[in-house]
Each structure stands twice: as structure tokens, then as C-alpha cells.
Chain A
């Protein structure tokens, strides 16, 4: 046994630990962070003290060295004022016909959130209200946490306080999408932490949209985690748009648990932030489930975006599909890590994982690390990763018909990411995503 030698803490790590410590002390005095949230938070502080920010010596964070990248820790965001709420509401992604609940710099903006518009059978309870009423659903928080230390998630847990518990009653087909919009408006750089717990009852259906947007040029830090429980026979479509401001840090964690014959279809579009990481932890609890996690990442400038997935097939007869498309221009850096574990009892597992990337510049970089760990003998699993450039023959064909080079490139890039976007079943949502991609492509072509 070797005892891990912790290098000296960075100033950012010191600031984070001090802020966590102070927050817990205040909370203990005021009775704010009691019970489950307080316990989880204290545990997270302890873990953070031991491990600090993830760095390149930690296997799962090899390509995304947070310790090196995070130089300072801005103050925690305060309660947003009406002007900030109004600005955030204007900046938030517009999803037609959805009930939108708005977070401003990590704090729930009650007045600007459409609680009344939630579809029948769907409820959303702010975390503080849940704590005050000692709601039993609070026990769900942290229940899907991975065994291994995840530094981004530890921070989120350490700063637990803002967030929602969303429930969908058994058998309910939610009549419209629920949109959780996270916005960082103009102003000083701040840090914001939110946690959402979503429990979808047996046989229920829900379409959930998460969007992350913010002002360009503000070096804010957004950290969001979602714990999603898809009940037996339930169906969830989750669409995620990460379009944070260009100077922002975005750390996102999605933890899902799928019941028997449950279906979860995730699509994640990443275009924003200076540095971002999206970690997905998927766990199968019942047989016959179907998990699809797909996404597209479009990067420019010196952006860095990491998508890392850990799919755990613990029971037999489950299907998982992962398809990630990454488009890299300028000096951007993309990372895809995907690990599928098939445990001994998980016979008849069908898992396919693919990462495809398109390099638009010689200075862009993509790191792929797909992994399979299979302990069962009767399974169908595969993974692959490709890195390519735009096809010269196709470009010439399009140009020979009059399309300018940039427009020809745009069509081919759109076709490339389109292969993943087409899995978004809701047509209106697909249109919203395509519009965001087209905006990105047009900006690039300009």
C-alpha cells in the first residue's frame, strides 16, 4: 500500500476548502444545512481535503487537468436581484411550449420560474423547501453517487443548497417538456452550484431540457449535477444544451439509474465554456432497459470540452448506445472517454459506443479513450473512435455546383453532427438544437 502523496494545495484549492469550511460553520450556527444536506456537504469537504481538484495523475481526468486549469475560486453568487432575473430570463434558451424553471448564477429564481405551468402529475420542489419539510425524497440525494471520488461532483455536493427535486407520478405522460434553464448574467465572476434530483415514477414519461447559458467574457464557474431515477417501464428524454459564455468553467455530472424496461434517451449539445466537463454515470438496475446517450460538441478558439461516460451493466439484457460527434476548429481540444462495464451477471448485454471527430484545423486536438470491461460471456459489445477531416472529394463536388467553400464545409459538418441529432425524437427540440448548431456554423463561416 502506498499512501498518496498530495502535492501542495493550489490557491484555488485553498480558497475552495476555506469557503466550504466557512459555509458549513455558518450553517451549523444558523441551522441552515442540517440533516442530509449538511452531512453530505461535510463528507464532501473531507474528501476534497484529501483529494483536491482532479488533475492529470487521476486516470479519469487525465486529459482535463482541473487543478492546473482552475487558478482561482470566485465568490459564491448571492441572491439574484430583479434586474439580474430579467436579464437571465432574456438570455435563457427559448424552448417552445416548455415549462421553464430558471436558475440565475446557481440560485433558483422563483419569481421568474413557471411553477404554475408544470404539466399535470409533475412537481418541482426547491431544495430548501424540501429540507424545511424534511421531505423523504432528500434521501435520494447522493444515492447515485459513484464509489470513486469525482472532484467535480464533490464540489457540487460540498456546496449543496440550491436545486430542485422533480417528481413525475407513476403512469403520467407529462404533457409538455420541463426546461431547467441555468443562466449566468453579466456582472462579477461568481461560482454557482446546483443539484437536481429527478424521480420518474413507474410507467411515466417525461421530456426534460437542461440548458446552460451565460454572458461572454465573464469567468464564472458553473457546477451542476443531476440525479435521475427512471422507474420501471418509464421513458425519459433528456436534452442538454451547454452554451456557457466563452470564459466560463462548466462542470456537469449526470447520474442515472434505470429500472426494469425503462428507457432513457439523452442528447447533449456542447458549444460553450472555455473549459467544460460532462461526466455521465449510468447504472442499470432492472433488465430490458434501453439507454441512449448521444451528443455533439462544436468547439472553436482554445476551448476544451470533455465528455466522460461510465456505463455500468449490472443486470442482464440491457441495451446501451453511445454516439458522440466532436467538431474541432482552431486550437480547440476535445476529449471523449467512455467506459462500459459488463458485470458477470449481465448476460445478453448489448452495448455500442462510438466517438467520431472531425478536425477542421491542424492545431485542434482530440483525445479518445473508449474502454470495455467485460466479465460476462454472452454479450454483444463494441466501441470505436474515429478522427478525420472533411472529405476533399465531397467539398469539391459541392463547390463545383457553386457552393462557396465555407458553405460547403457547413453542409458537411451539419451532416456529420446530424447523424447524432436525428436521435432526438421530439421534433421541436431537434429544431431548437439544429438552430443552435447552425448559429455556431454561421458564426464560424462569417
Chain B
């Protein structure tokens, strides 16, 4: 707990320091050019500027910029260790990371200042690359507690037991989550693919606004990949944005991205259309070896 507070405090210091050093004016200056009216209709749901983050003495994000408008699906590809998972953790508030510089806003709100649970209630969801097992906390109990905690934080009515059961019964079978798996401890004894599908079930129940999927495709068999992609596509909506981290084009066959970014050494080094993923599959990341250092 002490550590967590320390991180938050340091983050705030870094944040203030950055604004002073850079001498930036009002936040409006950082908005992209364009007519004000149009901008309001499609606000940038996620806006990351010059983000630096470290774990211990190891700086991993080194000035990352990324903007995702509402309604869009963006993919991030990049070599192992380039910082993709780190970005997903920093956005969802994992306490181990220290943000030393830069900003990240979600619908205009500074999300880096929020506790993980506040970010979740605001609509940020991370499908973990490696979902963890929590023995003794039944999956069902967990799902319901999570839904109600978010509802409570937003001042909404809690979901009743019958409504909750109905909802789970409507969504779990499509994702291949059985009654037995719902009764077991969270992810306990789940296969790698089952864990990933359980992440998507959580996402489907919680209906977040910003869905970050960290290599949800790895470990999935071909059929499961389709099922998961369907689950993700079902959530595509004008008021929702998605950040899909993947190594493989095959996921993007099913979840077609609006923009593909290449991440390298803690920065976005290139952005392009869906065709960029195909190009990367051909040529790999060798071309980025020098310019991003």
C-alpha cells in the first residue's frame, strides 16, 4: 500500500513537472486541428502524449504518443519487449509502474491520476496477456462483485441475482465457458485458451468503453479465435474504442482495425491502415532496428 501511494505521488510530481518544463498552454492546444463541432462529435477517447514510464530503474515507455478516437479499433504490433504490455498496464493502473513524464487522458479525464478500480468504473478494461488464477474466489462471485462494484461507483443500481444469472447464461455459452468453469475459482484449472475466453466474457459483461486486448489471440485455437473475435466485434460501437495488441495478422483478419501502429523500444514508430499489418508479417521489424533507438 505504501508503494502504491508512492507511485501515485511521484506520478503527480512528474505530471506537474512536465507541464511546467514544456511550458504548455491550455489543454485545448493539444487537440488536433479541425472544426470544433466535428471534434466534439468524435472526441478522442484516448489521448496519450509523450508518455514515459519506468519500472524500477528501467525506463520502458520512452515518449509514447497515441490517439484513439471513439468508435475505432487500433492495433499495436511490435517486437517482444517493446513495451506493449507495459502500455496496457500503465493505462489500467498497475501499481508497479511509475509514470515520469507525459499525459494520458480518457474522454478528457486524466486517467493516470485514478486508482485501477476508478479507471475500471470509468470504462477502461484490460484483457490480460497472462490472466492470473485466483483460487477460492468463485468466478461467478467475482463477475458479480465486479459488475456491482462498477455500477456502485457510477451511482447505478446493482444488478439482481436473477438478472445477473440471465446475463451470464446469455453470454457464457457462446464463449465456451461452462457452468463448471463459472463455479470454479477465477481461472483456476482453466487452459490457456479458456483463460483468454474468460477475459472476453468479463469484457462482454462489464461493457467497457475502452477495451485493451493484450495478445488475446495467443493460445487460442482457430475456432476459439473466431469466437473471441465475434465477441469483440459484437462490442464494436460508436462510443467505444479498442486497442488490440497482437503479433499476428490472423486476428486482424477477424477484427479489422482502423489503424495499425508499430511499437518499438517504448514508442509508436509508425502508424498506418490495416494493410500495415500485412506488410509487417512479410518484412518483420528489422526496418525499425535503427530509427527507434
Residues of A within 8 A of B (CB): 392-394, 396-405, 407-408, 411-412, 414-416, 418-419
With contacts A404-B149, A411-B142, A411-B145 taken as known, whether A399 is within 8 angstroms of B117 at the C-beta atoms is yes
- A401 near B93 with CB under 8 A, answer no
* Residue numbers in A under 8 Å from B116 (CB-CB): 396, 399-400
Complex-state Cα separation, A387 to B176, whole angstroms: 38
A interface, over-half SS: helix
A sample of 7 inter-chain contacts (CB < 8 A) reads A400-B117, A401-B125, A401-B142, A401-B149, A401-B202, A402-B153, A419-B136
Complex-state Cα separation, A394 to B134, whole angstroms: 7
Complex-state Cα separation, A411 to B135, whole angstroms: 10
* Residue numbers in A under 8 Å from B119 (CB-CB): 400
With contacts A397-B132, A412-B134, A415-B136 taken as known, whether A402 is within 8 angstroms of B149 at the C-beta atoms is yes
Closest to B4 in A: A405
Complex-state Cα separation, A414 to B142, whole angstroms: 12
With contacts A392-B95, A407-B149 taken as known, whether A399 is within 8 angstroms of B135 at the C-beta atoms is no
The 8 Å CB contact of B132, one of A394, A405, A407, A419, is A394
Q: Which of B145-181 contact A (CB under 8 A)?
A: 145-147, 149-150, 153
* Residue numbers in B under 8 Å from A407 (CB-CB): 145, 149
- A416 near B94 with CB under 8 A, answer no
* Residue numbers in A under 8 Å from B121 (CB-CB): 402
A437 CB to closest chain B CB (Å) equals: 13
- A399 near B93 with CB under 8 A, answer yes
B120 located at the interface, meaning its Cβ lies under 8 Å from any Cβ of chain A in the complex = yes
Complex-state Cα separation, A398 to B94, whole angstroms: 11
- A405 near B115 with CB under 8 A, answer yes
- B206 near A401 with CB under 8 A, answer yes
Complex-state Cα separation, A407 to B117, whole angstroms: 11
Closest to B145 in A: A403
B170 CB to closest chain A CB (Å) equals: 19
Most buried by A among B94, B121, B137, B185: B137
Most buried by B among A393, A399, A414, A418: A399
A424 CB to closest chain B CB (Å) equals: 15
* Residue numbers in B under 8 Å from A398 (CB-CB): 134, 137, 142, 146
B131 located at the interface, meaning its Cβ lies under 8 Å from any Cβ of chain A in the complex = yes
Residues of B within 8 A of A (CB): 1, 92-96, 115-117, 119-121, 125-126, 128, 131-132, 134-137, 141-142, 145-147, 149-150, 153, 185-186, 202, 206
- B142 near A415 with CB under 8 A, answer no
With contacts A407-B145, A411-B145, A414-B136 taken as known, whether A400 is within 8 angstroms of B126 at the C-beta atoms is yes
The 8 Å CB contact of B185, one of A402, A403, A415, A416, is A415
With contacts A394-B132, A401-B142, A402-B153 taken as known, whether A412 is within 8 angstroms of B137 at the C-beta atoms is yes
The 8 Å CB contact of A397, one of B1, B115, B131, is B131
* Residue numbers in B under 8 Å from A401 (CB-CB): 120, 125, 142, 146, 149-150, 202, 206
Complex-state Cα separation, A300 to B137, whole angstroms: 23
A32 CB to closest chain B CB (Å) equals: 52
With contacts A394-B132, A411-B142, A418-B136 taken as known, whether A403 is within 8 angstroms of B149 at the C-beta atoms is yes
Closest to A399 in B: B116
* Residue numbers in A under 8 Å from B1 (CB-CB): 405
- A400 near B136 with CB under 8 A, answer no
- B117 near A393 with CB under 8 A, answer no
A221 CB to closest chain B CB (Å) equals: 36
* Residue numbers in B under 8 Å from A399 (CB-CB): 93, 115-117, 120
The 8 Å CB contact of B92, one of A400, A404, A405, A416, is A400
A291 CB to closest chain B CB (Å) equals: 25
With contacts A400-B92, A400-B93, A403-B149 taken as known, whether A393 is within 8 angstroms of B132 at the C-beta atoms is yes
Closest to B133 in A: A394
Most buried by B among A394, A399, A402: A402
With contacts A392-B95, A397-B128, A399-B93 taken as known, whether A404 is within 8 angstroms of B117 at the C-beta atoms is yes
Complex-state Cα separation, A234 to B255, whole angstroms: 64
Complex-state Cα separation, A415 to B137, whole angstroms: 6
* Residue numbers in A under 8 Å from B134 (CB-CB): 394, 397-398, 411-412, 415
Q: A396-B116, A400-B119 are in contact. List 14 more A-B contacts (CB 8 A).
A: A396-B94, A397-B131, A397-B186, A399-B115, A399-B117, A400-B126, A401-B150, A402-B149, A404-B115, A404-B117, A405-B1, A405-B117, A411-B142, A415-B136
Complex-state Cα separation, A105 to B153, whole angstroms: 46
- B132 near A402 with CB under 8 A, answer no
Complex-state Cα separation, A408 to B116, whole angstroms: 12
* Residue numbers in A under 8 Å from B141 (CB-CB): 411
* Residue numbers in B under 8 Å from A419 (CB-CB): 136
* Residue numbers in A under 8 Å from B93 (CB-CB): 396, 399-400
A188 CB to closest chain B CB (Å) equals: 41
* Residue numbers in A under 8 Å from B115 (CB-CB): 399, 404-405
With contacts A393-B132, A416-B136 taken as known, whether A402 is within 8 angstroms of B94 at the C-beta atoms is no
B87 CB to closest chain A CB (Å) equals: 14
Complex-state Cα separation, A378 to B252, whole angstroms: 62
Complex-state Cα separation, A398 to B95, whole angstroms: 13
Complex-state Cα separation, A408 to B4, whole angstroms: 15
B194 CB to closest chain A CB (Å) equals: 16
In the complex, the 7 A-B pairs of residues with the closest C-beta atoms, listed nearest first: A415-B136, A402-B120, A402-B150, A401-B146, A399-B116, A402-B149, A399-B117
* Residue numbers in A under 8 Å from B186 (CB-CB): 397
Closest to A403 in B: B149
* Residue numbers in B under 8 Å from A392 (CB-CB): 95-96
Closest to B94 in A: A396
